[in-house]
Each structure stands twice: as C-alpha cells, then as structure tokens.
Structure 1
Amino acid sequence: MRDCVIRSVGWTAPEASISNEELVKVFNTYADRFNAENADAIAAGTLAEIPHSSEKFIEQASGILNRHVVDKAGLMDLDRMRPRIPHREKEALAYQAEFGLSAAKKALDKAGRTADDLDGVIVASSAQQRNFPGVSVEIQNALGMTRGWAFDMTMACASAIFAMQQARELIRTGQADAILIVCPEIMSAINHYRRREVHFIFGDASAAILLEAGDREPGGWELQGVRLETKWSNALRSDFGFMNHTEFEDDEPFEAFVDQDGHRVFRDVIPMASGVSSKLIADLGYQPHDIRRAWLHQANIRIVQAVAKKALDREPTADVAPIILNEYGNTSSSSVLMTFDMHSSDMKPGERGLMCAFGAGYGCGAAIIQKR
C-alpha cells in the first residue's frame, strides 16, 4: 500500500474575541436578573438559584482565558446570549460552508494545490448547518472542483481524526490521491451561555488538512497509523436534530444545547484517550520516548496534560504538549489541527508526534505522524 502524508493544514478563527472578564460580566448580570425575577420560586425551593461565575473559576476549571467567536454582539446581548447569524437564501453560500472554505483555501494555497488536484472533500465537525445537501458538497462546488466526491460526517471533537482514518485508507488503497478534510466548528451556536458549567468552554474556528499519496513529492508528514475507539456515554451531549420539532409541543420547555457532566467526562476521557494513544504507539513498535510531541484536542488544560503525561510517560511541558486553549478555548475538532499547525515547524525529519482527539460519544482517535 502507498504511504499517506499530511501535506498542509490551514485554519482561521474569527477576529472578535471574548475575555473571561467580559463573559463573566454578562453571565452574572443575567444570573442576578433571573434570581430577582424568580425570587419567590427560589425561596420556595421549586426553582434553583443561578450562582455567579468568576474568572478564577473559569481559569481553574479549564485553563481558558479567551475565545474567538463569529458574533460577539449576540453573545454579549443580555436578552439574547447566543450568536446572531442571519438567514441566507438557498442560492447563497451557506454560512458554515463559507467558514470552512476559508480554511480549505489556506490549506490548498500552503501546499501549492488547486481544486483540480483533489479527489474528495470530507466535512468533519461536531454539527452541520443542515442535514442535506452536504456542506461538504457545497464546499466542493465553491472550490470549483469538477470531479470527485464529498460527504459530511460527525464524531464531535474527534471528527478530524476519524476523517483522517477514512481518507488514509482511501489513499493507501489507491481509491484517491488527495483528500481535503474540513472542520468548520461554530460551537457558539450550540453552546448554552446561560448555564454556568458550560458557558465559558467553547470558541469558534475552522481548520482544514490536506492528505495525499506519499509518492507525489518529498516532504510532508507520513501518517503512520491511526487508532479509533468509541464508547456510549451521555455525559457530553447535544440534542439538536431533525426530530426536535416532532418530540415536543410548542408550550413545552426544550433546550437542545450542549450539556455535560464535567467531572464524569474528566474521569472517563483521560484513561480512554491515553489508552488509545498508548496502544497505537505500541502497535507501531514504538516506545513513549520515540514520540517527540503530542498535539491534543484542546478540551481542558488538565485533560490535555494528564493524557500527554500518561501516553508519553513524561511531564507534559509546553514542548511536549503545547497549549492553545488559553487563547481560543475549545474549538472542537479543529483544535487538534490548529495545535499541530502552530507547534510543528521546529521538528526535524524523522521525528514523530502524536495527534489525539476525544469527545462526546465517547469517541477517541489517535494518529502517529513522522516528519519526512
């Protein structure tokens, strides 16, 4: 079988950002208003009071200091607290497709490739803007591809690695020469900014990675192996879906936003992600010290450091396990690609790294790559 290589990564994040200070201010103002308006029910014990958030709480819980978002004004509007993304007519490029296209073009430009070089496009993200037609097919069309295929898939925050495994097998078996994976993550659209335990977690970003057959030209990163695992869990969940309008009456309360049991996710994900990574390292005949660096999904600083320490059997220094979540927050599947792109240029040919992403499902994917 042919080698499969990572040729390039492109990514983009919105210019607008929200600091912890700004986020806490609007959340606490909302909490005070809610508690005042519902004082009698809270006193009677029929409704729970909303506690304040704080910058210290957010930083200690996650390591996040800032996040970039597609619409800051909507999130800072006390009466809305969700982004405002205007509807577009059918003939116009969909918002998520446009968001993904920006990263896709950067990846192609960096590699010196055009749409004519591609055999396929995979959109891999936590959620797609619509059920069909595929956002991937729209990006394929917007890129100007005149042949090939495209499809959408989701495995939450692990989507990029799951898509890399699909693309790798298609390339290794000769069914494709070049596949572009696009991860347009607009997590602010499904996050619940009025729920203290999740209001600070997510940011928006789009990333794309180009995989090619290794015999095309020198350079790149050989994708030596991928390991995937899934395990059912409700600890991290979003119920947005096409059946929502059938399940509840108009007057029934229903919130489909992201919901999580953070302590349970922390307890479950660390052994799963480190275990998948360790098994892959061993399967390829390597030892932890053979892996120079880990580029991990930026979910939470404690999870990143714990997974890196267990998988690579050493302290997770900034060189061993780079962190970008302090600036960008959790950008779901795009984060592992962004971290790799920002922290890989110093590595030498022959050095290896671990990419690992984990999230709702649970789903976990690990990949070992080697600079050529």
Structure 2
Amino acid sequence: MIVRSVVKGVGHYLPERVVPNAEFEATLDTSDDWITSRSGIERRHFAAEGETTSDMATKAATAALENAGLAVDDIDAIIVATSTPDLTFPSVATMVQGKLGMTRGFAFDVQAVCAGFVFALANANALILSGQAKRVLVIGAETFSRIMDWTDRSTCVLFGDGAGALVLEAQTGTGAVSDRGILSADLNSDGRYREMLYVDGGVSTTGQSGKVRMQGNALFRQAVEKLAQTAEAALDKIGLTGADVDWIVPHQANLRIITATAARVDVPMDRVVVTLQDHGNTSAASIPLALSVGQARGQIKQGDLLVTEAIGGGLAWGAVVLRW
C-alpha cells in the first residue's frame, strides 16, 4: 500500500462583471468575430474595483472546502498559484490563510504564470507523499485585468479574472494506475524563451508592475509542441497513452492550441473540458476553474482519468495525470 494525493473537493469563484467581446469594439480595432475566430473566447469576467486576488482565492477555497465536506481546521497547508498578487509580499496564500481563519499549518505562493497551478499541484503532491501535510488546499487565482495594456488588441482581449481551488487529501492506494489521486507529474522550464511572454515591469527593474507583452505566433508554436510532449511524458511515466484518458483539462488560453494539442495526444475534442469561451485566459486559475466547472456540468466523474497540462511565461510548462 502507498500514499496517494486524492482530490477531496473542488470549487471556483468568478467576479460578477461579465465582459463580452463586443465591449472592446468601442476602443479597439477589433470585433466579436475577430476575437472569437482567433481565440475561441466570447466573454470573460473582470474583478470589481477593490476586489483582489486574495478575495477571489478565498471564495474559491471556501467553495472547495464546502464541496469536500471539510472545515478550515482540517487543512495543513495552502498553496496559491498566481502572477498577480495583492502585494509584493506577503504571499496571497498567507492572506487567504488569514481570511479563512486558519491559524495552524503553513502557506506559500507558486509563480509559474499560466503553468502555475500544475506546478502547485505537483508541489502539494510532494508535501503529501513526504508526510509534511495530510490535506493541502491548492488554489489558482488571478486578476490579469490589472496588468493589461488596453491599447494592445493582441493581448487585452484574451485575459480574464477568477479563481479555482481544490483540496488534496492523503489516502491509501495500491500503487496501481487504477488508484484515485495524482499518478504522475512532469514539470519543465526554459528561460531562453522569456521574450515570448512577459510583463515589462517589476520590483527590481521599473518599480512598477508593468503590462503583459506577448509574441503570439511564436508562442503558439511552442505551446502546441511542449503541451503535447509534457502530456505524453506524464502518461508514459505510468505506462498509459491518450487512449486511456477520459478527460484532458487544459490551460484555457486559446481554442486552436487546445484543439491542436488534443490531436497530437490523440484525444478527441469531446473528451476535452473547454471553458475559455466563458472565462478567457485566467492564467493559473484556468485549470482549477475548468475542473470545478467540469465536475458541476457532470462531465468529470469519480474514477475518471484526467490529464491537466499548461504552459506559461518563462517559458514554464508541465502536466499532471490524476484519477478523479
């Protein structure tokens, strides 16, 4: 018998304000058709004035705890994946810890941009397997609307705000791929590709947060190749292939990337959870959002084999295979 990190509960939060593509037509040389045809995005949510990343993360965490049937005192650790923290420090995770009323355990942030939740999930799994924690609250939360250049139609129409969370719990497994829980992970990064996706500001450079800059065409090519490779690598570690997968739950960046990656892994699109039409690219929040929505829709069911994969600035990319 071995220890497995099993998903005990999942939840999400989206800001109240919904922004359809048509809203950009008044200020940009763009249209609903242009945005939809190139990205698959139809609308997104923007945080209200004064609504922060930690606010949204806390609401998603509360929903996940309720779904899991657990109280905050049952949690040993909180990991938040985000690139848009409330403050330079302290971490969003400690803010969530405080807002939840959790006075034990530990909390920290992970920053791998859009791949952040995959990296956070792998770290949470390692904490559980090493005995450092029994239950970990893993959250992805972003307010990307605060770092948009509203004159750049190639980026500002793509991103949205939101948060998703899940609770991982140590449970006993047999060691077989039929076990529930995280079965494998594959993490990668390559700093040579920094210029493809970055924010042009920071504490030790400009002293300001800066705006998102992206080389869309170059990033598209890297994304399809690297996402397929990491998904296949994670599956190969446990002797499985795309044919064994019930659902791919990808980072929700661009429908063309999602479609091309699924084809490379040989998984049909009717076995891919897609939510970006309603949320846009919510960076580190996109996978937990999709997991929560996928379960609520009745798509993801207990016992299903899932592959989550994502790529973000760095470049950083990775995949996690888990049985729900």
TM above 0.5, one fold? yes
* Higher strand proportion (structure 1 or 2): 2
* Aligned residue in 2 for 1:37: none
Aligned to 1:353: 306
SS at match of 2:114: coil
Picking from 166, 173, 184, the partner of 2:123 is 166
Deviation at 1:274, TM superposition (A): 0.4
Correspondence for 1:333 among 274, 278, 284? 284
Which one of the candidate residues 188, 201, 214 is aligned to 1:240? 201
What is the Cα-based RMSD across aligned positions, in Å?
Answer: 1.9
The offset of 1:301, in angstroms, is 0.3
Q: Which residue of 1 aligns with 2:176?
A: none
Q: Map of 1:199-214 to 2, 5 A cutoff?
A: 199-214=156-171
Separation in structure 2 between the aligned mates of residue 366 and residue 343 of structure 1, nearest angstrom = 18
The Cα of 1:314 is off from its aligned counterpart by 3.9
Aligned-pair distance for 1:127? Answer: 2.5
Q: Deviations over 1:203-226 (max 9, x none)?
A: 11111111110149xxx9411111
Aligned-pair CA distance for 1:347: 4.6
Worse overlay, 343-352 or 299-308: 343-352
Instruction: Give yes or no for contact 1:2–1:174 (8 Å, CA) kept in 2.
Output: no
Query: Aligned partners of 2:242, 2:164: CA distance in 1, in Å?
Result: 28
Residue 263, structure 1, aligned to residue 213, structure 2:
no
Alpha-carbon distance between aligned partners in 1 of 2:222 and 2:33, rounded to the nearest angstrom: 25
Deviations 1:37-69 (A, max 9, x none): xxxxxxxxxxxxxxx222222112101111111
| CA–CA separation in structure 1 for the residues paired with 2:198 and 2:110 | 17
1: distance between equivalents of 2:35 and 2:302?
Answer: 39
State whether structure 2 residue 159 is matched by structure 1 residue 198. Answer: no
Q: Deviations over 1:197-256 (max 9, x none)?
A: 11210011111111110149xxx941111111111211011133212446xxxxxxx982
* TM-score, normalised by the number of residues in structure 2: 0.91
1:92-112 CA-to-partner distances (Å, cap 9, x unmatched) read xx8322221111111111111
Asked if the contact 1:2–1:173 (Cα under 8 Å) also holds between the matched residues in 2, the reply is no
1:161 alignment partner AA: V
Is 2:182 the partner of 1:223? yes
Q: Is the 8 A contact 2:247 2:300 kept in 1?
A: no
User: Does 2:312 match 1:362?
Assistant: no
Aligned AA (1:298): Q
Does the residue aligned with 1:333 lie in a helix, a strand or coil? Answer: helix
How far residue 173 of structure 1 moved from its aligned partner, in angstroms, is: 1.5
- Superposed, which structure 2 residues align to 1:80-159 within 5 Å? 85-86=49-50, 95-159=52-116
Cα–Cα, structure 1 residues 116 and 302, in superposed 2: closer, same or farther, change >3 Å?
same
Where does residue 288 of structure 1 map in the other structure? 242
1:342 aligns with 2:290: no
Looking at structure 1, the residues matched to 302 and 122 of structure 2 have their Cα atoms a distance apart, in angstroms, of 23
The answer to whether the 8 Å contact 1:127/1:154 transfers is no
CA contact (8 A) 1:324 1:339 kept: yes
In 1: Cα distance, 2:112 partner to 2:303 partner: 31
User: Which deviates further from its counterpart, 232-241 or 159-168?
Assistant: 232-241
**Fraction of identical pairs, as percent:** 30
Letter in 1 for 2:127: L
SS of the aligned residue for 1:358 comes to strand
Q: Which amino acid aligns with 1:355?
A: T
Specify the code of the residue in structure 2 equivalent to 1:259. Answer: R
Distance in 2 (alpha carbons) for counterparts of 1:206 and 1:353: 20
Query: Any conservation in 1 of the 2:3–2:172 contact (CA below 8 Å)?
Result: yes
Distance 1:351 1:21 in 2: 37
Q: Give the conservation status (yes or no) of the 8 Å contact 2:274–2:290.
A: yes
- Matched residues in 2 for 1:223 and 1:12: separation? 24
Q: Which amino acid is the alignment partner of residue 236 of structure 1?
A: L
The one-letter code matched in structure 1 to 2:197 is L
Q: Equivalent residues in 2 for 1:66-81 (5 A)?
A: 66-71=43-48
Candidates 49, 61, 64, aligned match of 2:38: 61
1:180 and 1:255 map into 2 onto residues whose CA distance is: 27
Match in the other structure for 1:15: 16
SS at the partner of 1:141?
Answer: helix
SS in 1 for 2:3: coil
Query: Aligned in 2, Cα 1:348/1:154: closer, same or farther, shift over 3 Å?
Result: closer
How many residues in Structure 1 have an aligned counterpart in Structure 2?
A: 314
Bigger shift: residues 265-274 or 319-328: 319-328
Q: Partners in 1 of 2:289 and 2:116 — Cα distance?
A: 14
Q: CA deviation at 1:175?
A: 1.1
Q: Structure 1, residues 103-156: CA drift from partner, whole Å, max 9, x if none? A: 111111111111111111111112212121222112112211121111112100
